[in-house]
């Protein structure tokens, strides 16, 4: 099939990456439809009107589509986003976990709601401005690290299904960010020098505590003054366990004459456990809700590089699938601050084997 006979829906945020993704696909001859997704209405924080869901972002995306002479639509996914991504975000913190909402958003919004619209519009593919490479081998679709290791986004994409990957294009995988900005400048895009967003789109000032307090008004009253415990003894009181995360040192308001760190959050008993730095290290954990990409199933334990947070370089480990939903991870060396609720992503070299959600240790 010739590219001119293939229609691709491009997720357009108004930023430089999605704009150049569309331009690159147009250069390859594809028919394009630009879609901007409204996922967050700022009802909780009316003063915040910036980022991927702002009017400015929508206007920027439409402007790029007009320049490329392709149709542009805006779809409102706020109800679905609220009922899945934000609901999960709040529930995880109330369980004492630290969630990664971008991973879930990719699964249920970009490769859920958006993919449904793609098929409704008669398009064959969806494309985004993510930095990742697509591969197909032995009947399986999987992603690999992007050329630009500083911008690689494979960690946040591990939940995307085989069905969705088959219908996906990642035009930026073979480019570095400076190369993308140069292309944008050559095209005359005003987003060429726009700084990258560093915050969660629905969290004001990158402070999730504000969202918790707005959505759960009596949170402070219910959970304030719980115990902070060190070596089995109460040494202070906390402000509410959802305000803490594994590895945290600052803001504990306790004086032991040495630094201590949050090592465990006991939501059931409203307790925050702290320990010395060496108490943050563990060698193994179980990942739940797994999704495998490169292999359909792991028939035996294998060596892998495992990342436990977005900026983690990854560490060597043995991974073993223990049932359809769980993988056991044993690191070669103790790993610091393994955090329940975060994603664990498994790599075979630069290829994503799959991933899961870190369970309570």
CB distance 321 to 290 below 8 Å: yes
Among 52, 65, 102, 105, the active-site one is: 105
Beta strand pairing status for 315-321 and 7-11? unpaired
CB atoms under 10 Å from CB of 167, counted, come to 19
CB atoms under 10 Å from CB of 251, counted, come to 10
Kindly report the backbone phi and psi dihedral angles of residue 287, in degrees, each rounded to the nearest multiple of 5, phi listed first.
-100, 135
105 carries an active-site annotation? yes
* DSSP helix/strand/coil, 45: coil
Distance CA 77, CA 186 (A): 33
Strands (E), 49-161: 72-76, 125-127, 133-137, 140-144
Q: For residue 333, what are its two tokens?
A: 């060396």
Among 52, 53, 102, 201, the active-site one is: 201
Taking phi first (over 0 means left), then psi (-120 to 50 degrees means alpha), and beta for anything else, what does residue 314 get? left
Distance CA 148, CA 1 (A): 30
Q: Which residues are catalytic?
A: 105, 201
């Amino acid at each position: 099939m010739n590219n001119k006979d293939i229609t691709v829906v491009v997720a357009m945020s108004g930023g430089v990456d999605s704009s150049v993704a569309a331009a690159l696909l147009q250069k390859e001859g594809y028919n394009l439809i630009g879609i901007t997704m409204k996922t967050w209405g700022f009802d909780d924080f009316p003063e915040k009107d910036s980022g991927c869901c702002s009017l400015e972002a929508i206007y920027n995306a439409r402007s790029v589509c007009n320049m490329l002479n392709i149709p542009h639509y805006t779809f409102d996914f706020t109800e679905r986003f609220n009922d899945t991504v934000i609901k999960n975000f709040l529930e995880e913190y109330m369980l004492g976990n630290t969630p990664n909402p971008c991973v879930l958003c990719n699964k249920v919004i970009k490769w859920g709601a958006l993919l449904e619209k793609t098929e409704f519009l008669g398009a064959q593919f969806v494309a985004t401005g993510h930095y990742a490479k697509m591969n197909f081998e032995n009947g399986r679709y999987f992603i690999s690290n992007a050329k630009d290791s500083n911008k690689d986004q494979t960690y946040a994409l591990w939940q995307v299904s085989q069905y969705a990957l088959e219908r996906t294009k990642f035009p930026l995988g073979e480019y570095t960010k400076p190369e993308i900005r140069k292309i944008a400048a050559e095209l005359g895009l005003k987003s060429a020098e726009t700084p990258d967003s560093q915050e969660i789109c629905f969290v004001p000032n990158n402070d999730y505590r504000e969202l918790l307090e707005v959505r759960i008004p009596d949170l402070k009253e219910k959970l304030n003054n719980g115990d902070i415990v060190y070596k089995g003894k109460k040494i202070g009181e906390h402000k509410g366990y959802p305000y803490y995360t594994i590895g945290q040192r600052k803001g504990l308001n306790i004086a032991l004459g040495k630094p201590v760190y949050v090592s465990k959050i006991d939501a059931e008993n409203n307790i925050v456990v702290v320990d010395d730095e060496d108490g943050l290290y563990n060698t193994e954990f179980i990942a739940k809700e797994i999704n495998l990409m490169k292999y359909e199933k792991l028939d035996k334990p294998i060596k892998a590089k495992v990342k436990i947070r977005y900026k983690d370089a990854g560490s060597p480990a043995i991974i073993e699938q223990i049932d359809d939903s769980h993988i056991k991870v044993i690191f070669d060396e103790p790993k610091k601050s393994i955090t329940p609720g975060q994603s664990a992503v498994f790599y075979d070299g630069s290829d994503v084997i799959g991933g899961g959600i870190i369970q309570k240790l």
